[in-house]
Amino acid sequence: MTIIRIRSLLATAVACVLAFTVTLAQAADPLPSWNEGKAKQSITAFVQRVTTRGSKDFVPPAERIAVFDNDGTLWAEQPMYFQLAFALDRIKALASQHPEWREKEPFASLLKEDLKGALAGGEKALAEIVMATHAGMTTEEFEKSVSDWLATAKHPKTGRPYNQMTYQPMVELLRYLRANGFKTYIVSGGGVEFMRAWVEQAYGIPPEQVVGSTIRTKFEMRDGSPVITRLPEIDFIDDKEGKPVGINKFIGRRPIFAFGNSDGDLQMLQWTAADGGARFIGIVHHTDAEREWVYDRDSHIGRLDKALDEGRARGWTIVSIKSDWRTVYPAKQQ
């Protein structure tokens, strides 16, 4: 037995001690930011059912796939999707390189802080904003632009950096599921590479477990080095019917646990629920005017209407932010 193999044994021993420590820590409440009640209970009861060996609902760890919408489910989405806030700030930052924008919509309105005017052009205007800010650079340059933005931008209502507007109860839920052998995925309408820049730190979800909308990219040699550049062309929209399609394409297994907050998540929830066996379906309901926002059926962002009806009819777990969450955001970091 070589020194390296002894080291390997020691590493295993250390890992085991750590595993015991984590297990003991979980003997405390794993979901401290959740109030006691039906929602919390339905989560822990489900996890117990599918992880108890010998139970008829036992699911082997490899099949414990959990999927989460991001905007409005894992972090806030008001007064506008945060990725749109990123795009608008990028337009301002890039304006000096684009003098033509001063005369050209939707950029001209945006640069005059007239968001309504800019978005009056509908989907076409939105697409132009996205392409001007999300394409035409390498993947590495884009990642840097997202990280730089997160380091400086502040949310208009809370004054927090956007990546500190994650929901603490959901971060605990992700951690709790992983401690119970689940593989946690994001399945979001947001851009994959926008999310990959920060979700590992925020949620403990690695880049390869992020499913989202994509634009086309291209491999090319630049000065003898390979780069991947982002093209101004949509590849895949991971929303509504796109969510189960994205799950099938990127994960290739049906989840047993799914969480969303809007009608855009309905098909993902239906797809998860339909396979028989023990399934957990959760919906975050935005009910807290003081600590967050109140919106559902009539909202233009995160509209929750059909999914709310179907969730109630089918006994899915509807989480009320106001009554089910003890805290909303994580403790402020400096």
- Which residues are at the interface with a copy of itself (CB under 8 A)? 1, 4-5, 7-9, 11-12, 15-16, 19-20, 23-24, 26-27, 48, 52-53, 62, 65, 139, 183, 192-193, 196, 206-208, 210, 214, 217-220, 225-226, 228, 235, 241-245, 248-253, 267, 270-271, 274
**What are the phi and psi torsion angles at 302 (to 5°)?**
60, 40
Nearer to a copy of itself (CB atom), residue 167 or residue 271:
271
52-57: list long-range contacts, CB under 8 Å, 24+ apart: 57/277, 57/278
User: Closest distance between a copy of itself and the C-beta of residue 226, in Å?
Assistant: 5
User: Closest distance between a copy of itself and the C-beta of residue 209, in Å?
Assistant: 8
Q: If we measure between CA atoms, which residue out of 316, 277, 65, 319 comes closest to residue 180?
A: 65
Nearer to a copy of itself (CB atom), residue 91 or residue 273:
273
User: Closest distance between a copy of itself and the C-beta of residue 192, in Å?
Assistant: 7
User: Closest distance between a copy of itself and the C-beta of residue 332, in Å?
Assistant: 27
Rounded-to-integer distance, Cα 31 and Cα 91, Å: 40
Nearer to a copy of itself (CB atom), residue 7 or residue 104:
7
User: Closest distance between a copy of itself and the C-beta of residue 53, in Å?
Assistant: 8
Nearer to a copy of itself (CB atom), residue 120 or residue 228:
228
Rounded-to-integer distance, Cα 58 and Cα 125, Å: 49
Query: In the numeric block, which tokens belong to residue 203?
Result: 């949620």
Query: ω before 226 within 30° of 0 (cis)?
Result: no
How far, CA to CA in Å, does 142 sit from each of 35, 146, 174, 180?
39, 6, 27, 35
User: Closest distance between a copy of itself and the C-beta of residue 165, in Å?
Assistant: 23
User: Closest distance between a copy of itself and the C-beta of residue 41, in Å?
Assistant: 14
Nearer to a copy of itself (CB atom), residue 9 or residue 289:
9
Q: Is 175 exposed, middle or buried (0-12, 13-18, 19+ CB in 10 A)?
A: middle
Q: If we measure between CA atoms, which residue out of 235, 143, 228 comes closest to residue 194?
A: 143
Nearer to a copy of itself (CB atom), residue 17 or residue 93:
17
Nearer to a copy of itself (CB atom), residue 230 or residue 286:
230
